[in-house]
Amino acid sequence: YQNYEILPHYDSLIAKLITHGKTRSEAIRIMLRALEECIIEPIKTTVPFCRDVLNDARFLRGKVYTDFTDILISERQKETERK
């Protein structure tokens, strides 16, 4: 809806994107393409963060743990501060 305001009283999930492939790497590749084609405006989304996760070498190797998102967010913040 044009000019609609998303109120804080509702679930912030506006969409869910699920992909699959014959292999994990194929599913990741398909998800990356889907995220590149995803256009949600004018609100901010987690799409850029999801792309960062899927492109991260640790994620691609399957070497991530429950603290992975915290680590990635911290790394992104430090990178932003350096700029």
- Asked if residue 15 is part of any domain, the answer here is no
1 against 34, higher pLDDT: 34
- Asked if residue 76 is part of any domain, the answer here is yes
- Asked if residue 64 is part of any domain, the answer here is yes
Residue 70 has a pLDDT of 95
Among 14, 17, 53, which residue's Cα sits nearest to residue 35? Answer: 17
- Asked if residue 14 is part of any domain, the answer here is no
Residue 1 pLDDT exceeds 70? no
50 against 4, higher pLDDT: 50
Specify the pTM.
0.77
Q: Which residue has the tokens 């915290």?
A: 70
- Asked if residue 38 is part of any domain, the answer here is yes
Long-range CB contacts for residues 33-42, cutoff 8 Å, separation at least 24: 40/14, 40/15
Reduced to 3 states (helix: H, G, I; strand: E, B; else coil), residue 78 is helix
Q: Which residue has the tokens 């990635």?
A: 72
**pLDDT tens for residues 18-73?**
999 999 999 999 999 999 999 988 888 899 999 999 999 999 999 999 999 999 99
Q: For the chain, how many structural domains are there in total? A: 1
Instruction: Pull the structure tokens for residue 54.
Output: 């899927």
- Asked if residue 34 is part of any domain, the answer here is yes
